[in-house]
Amino acid sequence: MAGGGGTRLRPVSTAQRPKPFLPLLPEGETLLQRTVARLRGAELGTDTRISVVVSAGWAPLVAAQVPDVQLVIEPEGRNTAAAIALAALQPGADPDGLMVVLPADHRIDPAREGLFRSVLRDAASGLATGSFGIASPLVTLGVQVTRPATEYGYLRPVVARRERVLGMDAYPLEAFEEKPAANRARVLQTMPGVAWNAGMFLWRRQAIIDALDRFAPEVAQGVRHGLASGDIATAYAALPSRSIDYAVMEPAAAAGLVVMAALDVGWTDVGTWPALLEVLGAPGIDGGVIEAGASAATADGDLVIIHGPAGLAAREAAEGTITPDEPIALLRGARPYLPVVQALLDRCAAAETRS
């Protein structure tokens, strides 16, 4: 799924070229390109195909960056339930085939990509085709919790029913828990088996179709009608904008249909400036986006990132107050990492020029 605006990484991420399509990684790849490369050789079946679900406006970026994938084009973004329904209901797709769903804008430690592929294979053969007494479960891949994060959702498994399946810890899922307050996040971090919800799923195609029909019929029926009529744009415009978590996974977990596999592969969603800078070798930086018209105090040693008439630029800040006319990024104490930041901006500016 290559959607989302990446607004927490402005001004580098823009509506014209959001986070998945930017060369954020030090190797110069985009997050989309790395996600596709990570799936090569996963060997999930004899007829493995990679599809990218993307809104029409960004389809040319996908075609340019990963030209050998299948495009599933949405007329507009209507959140992840619609995106997954559109992919699952594609004409001619094998209903008994396995379907892996991954966000295109997350990162996994390159040294653990082999382990990630191994977990996909094990989850496909050991969980998605039947496990914990569920004929066709919805499998979610839970990421190891390393801190009391408030920006991620959490997965709470039935710890007493843990099983070791092909080298993985697996559980029936008790519940999804949305982004918590700080106190609750600290409690969740201490609970055995609890994992972050990274939005990574694996299931039989028919299993997710049945779940959509049961828990989000308006989404499933709308997409079916649009595909059958040939007017997916009109059908999409009428769909509710709902995440797959709210629409399907939460009620499915309550109904005992969801299984969780534990995953420890150095995952990050690269969703904020501190997270991105940590990936780039500049850890411990605080800061983020300052909206147009808002004011923020600056200190000597801070960096400000702007997108001005001459393009992207990083400027050293002095002590004072800044009130930008356009969204900027304020990175506190980041002056020692100016070369790292500048290299990032140069990569993104070059990509913008090429397009």
pLDDT of residue 45: 62
pLDDT tens-digit map of 170-218:
999 999 998 999 999 999 999 999 999 999 999 999 999 999 999 999 9
How many angstroms separate the CA atoms of 298 and 302, rounded? 7
Residue 122 scores a pLDDT above 80: yes
End-to-end CA distance of the chain: 22
Residue 355 scores a pLDDT above 60: no
Give percent above pLDDT 90 in the chain. Answer: 78
Which positions ≥6 away from 154 have C-beta within 8 Å? 145, 176, 177, 180, 185, 188, 194, 195, 196, 197
DSSP state of 206: H
pLDDT of residue 341: 93
Which positions ≥6 away from 255 have C-beta within 8 Å? none
Q: What is the DSSP string of 147-198?
A: S--SSSEEEEE-GGG-EEETTEEEEEEEEEE-SPPHHHHHHHHHSTT-EEEE
**Token output for 75:** 């007329």
Mean pLDDT of the chain: 92
pLDDT of residue 354: 66
pLDDT of residue 167: 83
Which positions ≥6 away from 291 have C-beta within 8 Å? 324, 327
pTM over 0.85: yes
Residue 31 scores a pLDDT above 60: yes
pLDDT of residue 353: 66
Of 27-41, 73-87, 246-260, where does mean pLDDT reach its minimum?
27-41
* Domain ranges for the chain: 7-263, 273-354
7-263: CATH superfamily: Spore Coat Polysaccharide Biosynthesis Protein SpsA; Chain A (3.90.550.10)
Q: What number is the average pLDDT over the span 239-261? A: 95
Band of the pLDDT at 46, cuts 50, 70, 90? low
pLDDT tens-digit map of 290-338:
999 999 999 999 999 998 888 889 999 989 999 999 999 999 999 999 9
Q: How distant, in Å, are the alpha carbons of 141, 162, 205, 267 from that of 127?
A: 11, 13, 14, 21
Residue 48 scores a pLDDT above 60: yes
